[in-house]
Amino acid sequence: MKIAIGSDHAAYEAKDRLKVFLASAGHQIVDVGTDSTESCDYPDYAAAVSRSVQSGAVDRGVLICGTGIGMSIAANRFSGVRAALCYTEELASLSRLHNDANVLCMGARTQSIDSMQSILKVWLNTDWEGDRHARRLGKIEMNSGGDNA
Protein backbone atom coordinates (compact mmCIF):
# COMPACT_ATOMS: atom_id res chain seq x y z
CA MET A 1 0.00 0.00 0.00
CA LYS A 2 1.23 3.51 -0.76
CA ILE A 3 0.85 5.74 2.30
CA ALA A 4 1.46 9.48 2.71
CA ILE A 5 2.58 10.48 6.18
CA GLY A 6 2.96 13.91 7.71
CA SER A 7 3.46 15.51 11.10
CA ASP A 8 4.13 18.75 12.83
CA HIS A 9 7.15 19.41 15.04
CA ALA A 10 5.51 17.81 18.10
CA ALA A 11 5.23 14.49 16.29
CA TYR A 12 8.34 14.53 14.13
CA GLU A 13 10.09 11.75 16.07
CA ALA A 14 6.93 9.61 16.18
CA LYS A 15 6.53 10.03 12.42
CA ASP A 16 10.05 8.79 11.79
CA ARG A 17 9.45 5.73 13.96
CA LEU A 18 6.13 4.98 12.26
CA LYS A 19 7.82 5.25 8.84
CA VAL A 20 10.20 2.45 9.85
CA PHE A 21 7.26 0.39 11.14
CA LEU A 22 5.31 0.90 7.88
CA ALA A 23 8.30 0.16 5.65
CA SER A 24 9.05 -3.03 7.58
CA ALA A 25 5.47 -4.14 6.83
CA GLY A 26 6.12 -3.64 3.11
CA HIS A 27 4.33 -0.34 2.56
CA GLN A 28 5.61 2.41 0.27
CA ILE A 29 5.95 5.66 2.22
CA VAL A 30 5.58 9.22 0.96
CA ASP A 31 6.87 11.56 3.69
CA VAL A 32 5.46 15.07 3.21
CA GLY A 33 7.27 16.49 6.26
CA THR A 34 8.00 18.11 8.62
CA ASP A 35 11.68 17.35 8.68
CA SER A 36 12.64 18.61 12.14
CA THR A 37 11.42 19.53 15.60
CA GLU A 38 11.48 23.22 14.67
CA SER A 39 8.08 24.84 15.21
CA CYS A 40 5.80 24.62 12.17
CA ASP A 41 2.11 24.77 11.25
CA TYR A 42 0.25 21.43 11.20
CA PRO A 43 -2.34 22.54 8.57
CA ASP A 44 0.41 22.61 5.94
CA TYR A 45 1.15 18.91 6.43
CA ALA A 46 -2.52 17.98 6.77
CA ALA A 47 -3.10 19.64 3.39
CA ALA A 48 -0.18 17.82 1.75
CA VAL A 49 -1.36 14.40 2.92
CA SER A 50 -5.01 15.21 2.14
CA ARG A 51 -4.22 16.34 -1.39
CA SER A 52 -2.25 13.14 -1.97
CA VAL A 53 -5.22 11.05 -0.82
CA GLN A 54 -7.71 13.25 -2.68
CA SER A 55 -5.83 12.91 -5.98
CA GLY A 56 -5.32 9.16 -5.66
CA ALA A 57 -1.53 9.53 -5.63
CA VAL A 58 -1.57 7.43 -2.44
CA ASP A 59 -3.93 4.81 -1.06
CA ARG A 60 -4.16 6.24 2.46
CA GLY A 61 -2.69 8.88 4.73
CA VAL A 62 -1.39 9.15 8.27
CA LEU A 63 -1.20 12.44 10.18
CA ILE A 64 0.33 13.00 13.59
CA CYS A 65 0.47 16.12 15.71
CA GLY A 66 0.53 16.66 19.46
CA THR A 67 -3.03 15.44 20.02
CA GLY A 68 -4.26 14.48 16.54
CA ILE A 69 -7.16 16.90 16.89
CA GLY A 70 -5.77 19.71 14.74
CA MET A 71 -4.71 17.33 11.99
CA SER A 72 -8.13 15.68 11.88
CA ILE A 73 -9.93 19.02 11.70
CA ALA A 74 -7.64 20.28 8.93
CA ALA A 75 -7.74 17.06 6.89
CA ASN A 76 -11.52 16.79 6.98
CA ARG A 77 -11.79 20.11 5.15
CA PHE A 78 -10.82 18.27 1.95
CA SER A 79 -13.54 16.67 -0.15
CA GLY A 80 -13.14 12.91 -0.33
CA VAL A 81 -10.94 12.79 2.75
CA ARG A 82 -12.35 10.94 5.72
CA ALA A 83 -9.87 11.54 8.53
CA ALA A 84 -10.41 9.75 11.83
CA LEU A 85 -8.70 10.51 15.12
CA CYS A 86 -8.13 7.09 16.66
CA TYR A 87 -6.65 6.35 20.06
CA THR A 88 -7.75 2.71 20.42
CA GLU A 89 -7.65 -0.31 18.15
CA GLU A 90 -11.46 -0.49 18.32
CA LEU A 91 -11.81 3.05 17.00
CA ALA A 92 -9.32 2.27 14.23
CA SER A 93 -11.31 -0.79 13.22
CA LEU A 94 -14.66 1.02 13.31
CA SER A 95 -13.29 4.00 11.40
CA ARG A 96 -12.50 1.63 8.52
CA LEU A 97 -15.51 -0.70 8.80
CA HIS A 98 -18.18 2.00 9.04
CA ASN A 99 -16.59 5.19 7.72
CA ASP A 100 -14.03 3.99 5.18
CA ALA A 101 -11.54 6.36 6.82
CA ASN A 102 -8.70 7.03 4.41
CA VAL A 103 -6.61 9.20 6.74
CA LEU A 104 -5.62 8.12 10.25
CA CYS A 105 -4.84 10.84 12.79
CA MET A 106 -3.01 10.25 16.05
CA GLY A 107 -1.41 12.27 18.86
CA ALA A 108 2.24 11.96 19.76
CA ARG A 109 1.72 13.64 23.12
CA THR A 110 -1.27 11.46 24.04
CA GLN A 111 -0.27 8.05 22.69
CA SER A 112 2.77 5.82 22.98
CA ILE A 113 4.63 4.59 19.90
CA ASP A 114 3.55 1.03 20.71
CA SER A 115 -0.07 2.14 20.85
CA MET A 116 0.23 4.06 17.58
CA GLN A 117 1.80 1.03 15.88
CA SER A 118 -0.94 -1.33 17.03
CA ILE A 119 -3.66 1.14 16.01
CA LEU A 120 -2.00 1.65 12.62
CA LYS A 121 -1.75 -2.11 12.05
CA VAL A 122 -5.47 -2.62 12.77
CA TRP A 123 -6.42 0.39 10.64
CA LEU A 124 -4.40 -0.81 7.64
CA ASN A 125 -5.73 -4.37 7.87
CA THR A 126 -9.43 -3.56 8.23
CA ASP A 127 -11.63 -3.38 5.16
CA TRP A 128 -14.71 -1.22 4.72
CA GLU A 129 -18.03 -3.02 5.14
CA GLY A 130 -19.84 -0.91 2.55
CA ASP A 131 -23.57 -1.73 2.40
CA ARG A 132 -25.61 0.65 4.57
CA HIS A 133 -22.51 2.69 5.27
CA ALA A 134 -22.16 3.66 1.59
CA ARG A 135 -25.45 5.55 1.76
CA ARG A 136 -24.26 7.46 4.81
CA LEU A 137 -20.92 8.36 3.28
CA GLY A 138 -22.73 9.55 0.18
CA LYS A 139 -24.75 11.95 2.31
CA ILE A 140 -21.60 13.29 3.93
CA GLU A 141 -19.92 13.85 0.58
CA MET A 142 -23.04 15.51 -0.83
CA ASN A 143 -23.05 17.96 2.07
CA SER A 144 -19.36 18.85 1.99
CA GLY A 145 -18.96 22.49 1.11
CA GLY A 146 -15.63 22.78 -0.63
CA ASP A 147 -13.17 20.66 -2.48
CA ASN A 148 -9.94 22.39 -1.40
CA ALA A 149 -8.27 21.05 -4.51
Catalytic status, residue 105: no
Q: Count Cβ atoms below 10 Å from residue 57 Cβ, excluding itself.
A: 11
Catalytic status, residue 65: yes
CB 119 within 8 A of CB 88: yes
Q: Which of 9, 27, 86, 98 is catalytic?
A: 98
* Contacts (Cβ under 8 Å, ≥6 apart) of 130: none
Q: Which of 65, 86, 105, 133 is catalytic?
A: 65
DSSP state of 88: S
CB 4 within 8 A of CB 20: no
Strands 83-85, 2-7: parallel, antiparallel or unpaired by DSSP? unpaired
- Terminal CA-to-CA distance of the chain, rounded, Å? 23
Catalytic positions are: 65, 98
